[in-house]
């Protein structure tokens, strides 16, 4: 699977790449947050992984669907997700 991780730091990337050695997904990282302006960074990825407080409103969800994204993973915890 092709994944795009938004809003990542070097330490995030290191751990996700290490975990991916067992799975061999195609992972790409960007340091910017997901928003309506940054959905265009998606290139053939089927999944995105976002961090706390990123925009995931109707407009962004619609653009993700248009881009072919089938899975949204959240790097956060809480009762409101």
Reading the chain (81 residues) residue by residue, the pLDDT tens digits are 999 999 999 999 999 999 999 898 999 999 999 999 999 999 999 999 999 889 999 999 999 999 999 999 999 877 665
Q: How far apart are CA 11 and CA 71, in angstroms?
A: 23
Q: Which residues of 9-20 are buried (b: 16+ CB within 10 A; e: fewer)?
A: eeebeeebeeee
Q: How far apart are CA 23 and CA 74, in angstroms?
A: 19
Q: pTM for the full model?
A: 0.89
For the record, the structure tokens of 58 come out as: 């109707």
């Amino acid at each position: 699977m092709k994944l795009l991780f938004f809003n990542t730091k070097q330490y995030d990337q290191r751990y996700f790449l290490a975990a991916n050695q067992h799975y061999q997904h195609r992972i790409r990282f960007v340091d910017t947050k997901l928003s309506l302006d940054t959905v265009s960074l998606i290139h053939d990825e089927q999944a995105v992984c976002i961090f706390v407080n990123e925009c995931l409103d109707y407009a962004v969800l619609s653009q993700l669907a248009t881009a072919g994204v089938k899975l949204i993973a959240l790097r956060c915890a809480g009762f409101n997700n």
